[in-house]
Every structure is written in C-alpha cells, then in structure tokens.
Structure 1
Amino acid sequence: MAAGGGGKAGRLQVRKAARGGWTPAKRAAFLEHLAATCNIAASARAVGMAPRGAHALKARDAAFAADWAGAIEAAYETLEARLLAYALGDAEGESEVESEAEADGDAEAESRGAHFDPRVAVQALGFRKRGGAAGGTGAGTLCKRVSLAELEAVLVARLDALDAQAASVTGDA
C-alpha cells in the first residue's frame, strides 16, 4: 500500500500500489514491437497494456519518449528499405533474410505482415515528411494516389540521383 497526499482534513489517503505496470521488460518489448510495426496500439496490446497508457508514459518519461521517437524512426527506415527493395524488383519488398525469417516463424517478421503495399508505404512516408500527428503542414491529410509506374519512375529517378552523387564523391564519372 502506498500513502497519498492529505485530504480536506489533512488525513492520509491510502491506495494500492499499481501492479505490473510498465516494467522495464514491457517497455523494451513495446519499443521493439513499435520499431518493427510503427503501430502504437498493436505494440501496447502486444505487451498487455492499453495504448492510452503508452501515451501517458511517453508524456511523463522523457527517456521513454526519446526511445519511442527512435523506434518510430527505425520503423520508417525499415519501411523505406522495403520500398526501395520493391522498386528494385523484389515483388514483396523483402530481402531473402526477411523471407526466411517469416518462413521460420520469426515474430518480428510476422508482425510486419506478409503483404507489402507500396501505395500505403508512400502514404506513410509522406505522413512522416509532413511531421506526423504532431503537427506540421498538412498533417493528417493523405497523399494523392499514384500509379505503380509513377511510383517506380520517381524511385528510379531518386536512385539515379543517389548514384550520381556517390560517383561525384568517389570521382567515378
């Protein structure tokens, strides 16, 4: 039992201490799941907690908030890599290692889902560029739908630009 502050008459109020809660193990598992899925609600449920509790912990714990931001960034980087793999001809946007991990029943690979939709990936990355739910211009609006050919053309142009930039740095013209 934990003692609380005084009531109107200055008496102590007694309440039960929280059981379990956000233990270090639950925090780590939540952040790992969040980095794999970029899904806050699913990550909270995966560790037996409510999404609102995750948000409350983030609001009161600066270290957890920083780890949360890092997990979201890692998830976006994974999404970018899968989109790039898709653009380069890997039909599902996965590497052989990821495919083998899914075949072996790897929980992290399964949490990403077997289906990869490049249109949804582009929308998610657009949401990130605009600042996500935290604000930024156009936050919460969806990107326009583009054809697969348009998506591939944009990605190939960006790859060509990166290749030219790398060639200029290394002196290979």
Structure 2
Amino acid sequence: MEGMMGERRVTTGWTRVRWTAAMREAFLDTLARECNVTLAAEAAGVRKESAYLLRRKEPAFRDAWQEALALGYQALETRMLARAINPASEPDLDEMLGFRLLTRHGNALNGKVPRTGVLPRAATREETDAAILKKIEMLERARAKGLA
C-alpha cells in the first residue's frame, strides 16, 4: 500500500530511503561507469524509483546525475574508438549498441530527442496507410502536372 510519494508501508517490504553520502557516491560512480540506472541503484542498495525520486527532488543530485552520465558516455566513446583502432582491445563491446547509445546521447544534447528517454511510438496501421495514400495522391498530382 502506498503512502506519501516515494515511500511504501513496510508490509510490502519497501521503506522510505534516506540517502547517505556513501550511497550517493556508489550510485553516481556506477552510473558514470555503466550508464545504467538500475545497476547504479543496486550498487547504492536502493530501488531505481528511489533514485528517480531523489533526482526530481534535489537539483544538486540531478546535476551530479547528468555529470555522471556525461562521464559514462565519454568512457563509452573512448572504448568505441579503441575498438575501431584495435578490435582485440575491446572484445566484449557491443559496437551497434554503443553506436546507438552515443547517437541517442548526442541527439539528446542537441535537443533532437526528449531527455525523458521516451522512445517514439510505432505508427498504427491506419496512420501508415493514410501516409502512404497521401504520398500516392501527391505523386499523382505531380504526374498530372508533368512534374514526375
């Protein structure tokens, strides 16, 4: 049963978390190394929801979070470059995933992707059909005018 935002009654096994300096350090260090909130929360001994709540409530933690992610992406970029130069140097690196993550991060920094991490939704069949029909209609008009 839920209580105030960020806490649950002990009957569910959840309690309100009081973040210590050591917990924050473990979270931010892991986030910088892994770029993974779930792993960072585990390292701090908390649920990821607790980390997101703290990020919403404390601007200093939100800034430290962003700095940790920036460091993590720099480390990933360094690993990707090392792999490009010498493939044997990073044998466990998933190049395609690394490239997608770096591209998404760069787009987010340039305002091209929502910072929330929400992925674009897939269009419905009706939406794609309507878009295709609209394009066909445009081509037919251009052809009738002798432009296509």
* Short-chain TM bin: 0.5 to 0.7
Mapped partners of 1:90, 1:37: distance in 2: 20
Aligned residue for 1:22, secondary structure, equals: coil
Q: Is the 8 A contact 2:54 2:61 kept in 1?
A: yes
Of 114, 118, 138, the residue aligned with 1:135 is 114
- Normalised by the size of structure 1, how large is the TM-score? 0.53
Task: Report which of the two has the higher share of helix.
Answer: 2
Mapped partners of 1:64, 1:20: distance in 2: 15
The alignment-based identity, stated in percent, is: 31
1:126 aligns with: 103
Of 83, 88, 92, the residue aligned with 1:91 is 88
Query: Is residue 28 from structure 1 mapped to residue 28 from structure 2 by the alignment?
Result: no
Cα distance per residue 1:34-63 (max 9 Å; x no partner): 000000011101111010100000011111
Query: Is residue 52 from structure 1 mapped to residue 26 from structure 2 by the alignment?
Result: no
1:152 aligns with: none
Deviation at 1:92, TM superposition (A): 3.9
Structure 1: gaps spanning 5 or more residues: 1-17, 94-113, 142-173
Task: Report which of the two has the higher share of strand.
Answer: 1
Aligned residue for 2:88, secondary structure, equals: coil
Deviation at 1:20, TM superposition (A): 5.8
Mapped partners of 2:118, 2:108: distance in 1: 6
Please give the root-mean-square deviation of Cα atoms over the aligned residues, in Å: 2.4
Alignment of 1:74-113 (within 5 A): 74-93=71-90
Q: 1:37 to 1:79 in 2, by over 3 A?
A: same
Structure 1 letter corresponding to 2:53: A
Structure 2: gaps spanning 5 or more residues: 1-14, 121-148
- Normalised by the size of structure 2, how large is the TM-score? 0.62
